[in-house]
Amino acid sequence: MDIETIGIADLFGPPSPARDRTDAGILAAASGIGFMAIEDFPGDAWLTPDKRAELLRIFTLPDAEKQKLLRWNFDRTKKNVYRGWFPLQPTAVSYKEGIDMGPDLAQGQADGDSQSDDPLREPTPLPAEETLPGWREAAASYYRAMEAAGNALMRSIARGLGLPETIFDADFHGGISTLRLIRYPLRDTNAGIDTSGPEFSVVHKGETRSIIGREHADSGFVTLLAQDGVEGLQAKNLAGEWIDVPPANGTLAVNFGQLLERWTGGRVRATRHRVIAPKTARYSIPFFYEPRVDAEIAPLPLAGAEPFEPFLYGDYLWDSATNFVEMAGIKHLREPRRAKAS
């Protein structure tokens, strides 16, 4: 089974048979391989090499400027622990650098939540306007476009599951989605790091390829991923085989997170994926569409879904996100906001 490309323009129009068909296609892909490519939606003008380059300009900053954006686990003089820059970690399997940005990017500094004591709501350190003129407005506009696409997909999934289409809306209002920009350089084979272990490479189509993004499933809801024309992303299909998720201009790859899988009783699948090294540097732009920190995740009225004790999204997110290598060493910095029922 291949990854299907689905035009989603009808999701933005009134109820119609065409919209019903789109909903059915999306749910089929979500319940099947758990990956799809979407095209044809407001915001798709971003999905060209030139437009992506506007965002990826951040990687041209000199090291000294990137270092200003680092977070606490990489620079103990910084206050930000969840948002900001993660540098290359030469000994880790995942070989990437980049930045995680939150909703304050799109809302403007004035609305940032610097008063909150919740690290999940901390402001994002961003480059100064003089350093990258126009960059911030471009990134903000991209963030808003992805939020709109994420909302349309969640509504479509709600309808597909026979739930009220707005059932997720309130949870995502004031959500803490993450826009991440990633660069995977070519691994320096003379860096003195032993990458001969089995976790560092795989044989794919008879060729040994090194791993630059470790196999994982995303933790949250919906991921909207812009690839930058360079292959390497792979998804594990239902037969357990790795298949390529081809990059194509005008499309976003979409996959789903473990929380949505659990919340929908497995009707939506959180598919495992990884990145194998291409022949050139690779850039990608994932957007993790996420609800409010205080959104209560309680069982949905879905036949066959296992009941569970309701919990707060923020508590779940912190526990899962801090397992990833770029978030290493920060788990102890946030306590659950709701005590677990004992």
Ligand X SMILES: O=C(O)CCC(=O)C(=O)O
Site for ligand X (CB under 6 A): which residue of 34, 286, 291, 314?
286
Q: Name the minimum Å distance from CB 117 to ligand X.
A: 27
Among the listed residues 233, 131, 119, 230, the one whose alpha carbon sits nearest the alpha carbon of residue 178 = 119
User: Which tokens belong to 40?
Assistant: 């044809």
Both tokens assigned to 112: 């940032």
> How many residues of this chain interact with ligand X, rule: CB under 6 A?
11
Give dist(CA 189, CA 152) in Å, integer.
Answer: 44
Binder of residue 52, out of ligand X, Fe ion, none (CB less than 5 to 8 A by kind): none
Least CB distance to ligand X at residue 254 (A): 12
Q: Is residue 218 part of the contact set for ligand X (CB under 6 A)? A: yes
Contact (CB, 8 A) for 318 and 248: no
225, 259, 277, 317: which one contacts ligand X (CB under 6 A)? 225
Q: Tokens 């820059």 appear where?
A: 85
Q: What is the DSSP letter of 331?
A: G
Please give the distance of CA 118 from its chain centroid, rounded to a whole number.
Answer: 20
Write out the two tokens for 330: 């920060």
Q: Is 55 or 161 the residue whose CB approaches ligand X more closely?
A: 55
Is 218 or 315 the residue whose CB approaches Fe ion more closely? 218
Contact of residue 151 among Fe ion, ligand X, none (CB under 5-8 Å per partner type): none
**Could you tell me which residues come within 8 angstroms of residue 207 by beta carbon, excluding any fewer than 6 positions away?**
none
Q: Which residues bind Fe ion (CB under 5 A)?
A: 218
Q: Least distance from C-beta 268 to ligand X, angstroms?
A: 17
When asked if residue 126 is in the footprint of ligand X (CB under 6 A), the reply is no
**Span from 41-49, 74-82, 83-91, 225-233 in contact with ligand X (CB under 6 A):** 225-233
Nearest-approach distance from CB 253 to ligand X, in angstroms? 7
211-228 burial by CB neighbour count: b if 16+ within 10 A, else e? bbbebebbbbbbbbbbbb
Q: Closest Cα to residue 253, out of 108, 37, 7?
A: 37
Residues lying near ligand X in the complex (CB under 6 A) are found at 180, 182, 213, 218, 225, 227, 233, 273, 275, 284, 286
